[in-house]
Structure 1
């Protein structure tokens, strides 16, 4: 059986905070609690079934980030998922479809939330890269 290596304590803690965040976000979507941060597009029209679908997918995010908190080999997959989310949100934020729904309203709040997720992605990526570099150095000695 292959031995797994856990991420550093700080990276593990941040990944577990992400787990809690994704579960809270999923609960908010399932219950229809349109609260900023837990709901990126909190003030747009919606169908309850769409939000429930999103809530189920957030469970997969939570599971992925939990697995990453236990095994450093899973972290790159969690990073791919969060970066894909940031790119997807940025695409939506500038889309004509969102502009049409907003009917001239600002997208600033969506960009701020997207930026917060991007900042989280940068921190997680930086910690992982630093950790990966440290483990490479240790293996050389």
Structure 2
């Protein structure tokens, strides 16, 4: 039987390549990613496990602003090492004046996250699941 072992990469289209390239460049530098490839109209970053690419939308795509709730992409979550990393990400986002739609907090049992928007309104998340449970079981993170 075929089994998926992970998600290799995500590619999104953006309305203004320069603005999004700068936004994601700062975000991914903070998150420890490096540029994987820059081809002028497409750029990707990686941390050795995850790859994230952006490219400019075509003229037809730019006619329709992204809206959470449409068919398609809802949000993308970056799993972080710790709750402290979530808090550090939130502090970075505030310094960068990124729109935070849901501040760092407990959203589900032992699920700590911050939600924010990219320049096109695509929802992104930094999260840590299971840290309190692991600590309680004596498995520090």
Q: TM-score range by the shorter chain?
A: 0.3 to 0.5
TM-score of the superposed pair, with normalisation by structure 2:
0.33
Higher helix residue share: 1
Question: Which structure has the larger Rg over C-alpha atoms?
Answer: 1
Higher strand residue share: 2
TM-score of the superposed pair, with normalisation by structure 1:
0.33
